[in-house]
Amino acid sequence: MFVAGKILWLVAQPLSLAFLFKLLAIAALAFGRRWLAFALTSIAAGIMFVTLFTSTGAWALQRLEAVYLRPDLPEPLACMIVLGGAFDLEVTAGRGGMEMNQSADRFIEAARIARLRPEAKILVSGGDGSFSGDYAGDAELAPAFFAAMGVDPSRLVREDASRNTAENVAFTKTLLARDGLSSCLLITSAYHMPRAVSFFEAQGVTVTPWPSDYRSSGRVALGLDFTQPTLNAQLTATALREWLAIMRAKLGGSSPRLQPS
């Protein structure tokens, strides 16, 4: 299922879909189906326009980011769960050091809270989610990061085998039971939080959502946006991927909350 999901996303992301429809249009034209070719080209152009020149992506992410607000920080705090995805594993492997991506705020927020709540354990969940499986995952890189942030790495509990959210939750549940940890903060990207919480609830694990890594301003209106096509394409791809994952979670029996609490 992991590999199938990766392959499906290679095809389903917006720019890949636009390219596929254009290829089909060329094939239709080669067989003399001019109206079909025109229709397929129009679909490709429509996908490109929505992806590049509208606020659809930011607006769709904003809906998910609004579901959970940060509560008051518990005191004392027994533990926090940090979901992986913050490191650029390929670049880190090639360059050394700790190269992070847009989701770095997951770890930065965890380090900030760790300094405020020195009693809290930090469970980092994340292995290598690449096709090759050749890279050090987030959990393996976490000790060096937290040490650099002034947090004692001995506070870490590491889950380094998971490759996706479902595995994050299943493997984390085992470690929580082993170490007698409960009622943890869950730190992940705000748009990812509804799906992540639903998986934990399905496993009977109580967590307190602590969203981070916001991608929208919270005031995005659905409309045209010609100012930032590259960013619009990135946000649209991220939003589509998460909404497709939510649909898949619903089919699998999980029910992510999609309305603000």
Q: Is the pLDDT of residue 231 over 70?
A: yes
What global pTM score does this model have?
A: 0.93
Give phi and psi for 177, each to the nearest 5: -65, -40
Instruction: Round to whole Å and give the CA distance between 187 and 84.
Output: 10
Closest by CA to 81, choosing from 118, 122, 141, 50, is: 122
pLDDT category of residue 135 using cuts at 50, 70 and 90 = confident
Res 1: pLDDT: 62
Helices (H), the chain: 2-12, 14-30, 34-53, 56-65, 89-95, 105-116, 138-148, 165-179, 193-202, 229-251
Strand partners, 80: 122, 185
pLDDT in tens, 168-214: 999 999 999 999 999 899 999 999 999 999 999 999 999 999 999 99
Take residue 161 and report the two structure tokens written for it.
């085998």
**CA–CA–CA angle 89, 90, 94 (5° rounding):** 115
Sorted by where each begins, the domain ranges of the chain are 2-65+223-251, 79-212
3-state class of 157 per DSSP?
strand
Query: How far is Cα 97 from Cα 108, in angstroms, rounded to an integer?
Result: 16
Q: In a 3-state reduction of DSSP, which class is residue 234? A: helix
Is residue 261 predicted with pLDDT exceeding 80? no
138: left (phi over 0), alpha (psi -120 to 50) or beta: alpha
Burial class (CB within 10 angstroms; exposed 0-12, middle 13-18, buried 19+) of 108: middle
Please report the sign of the dihedral spanned by the C-alpha atoms of residue 13, residue 235, residue 66, residue 71. Answer: positive
Is it the case that residue 133 has pLDDT exceeding 80?
Answer: no
Burial label, 158 (beta-carbon count in 10 A; 0-12, 13-18, 19+): buried
141 exposed, middle or buried (CB, 10 Å; 0-12, 13-18, 19+)?
A: buried
User: Domain 79-212's class?
Assistant: alpha beta
Q: Tens of pLDDT along 48-60?
A: 999 999 999 999 9
Q: How far apart are CA 246 and CA 253, in angstroms?
A: 11
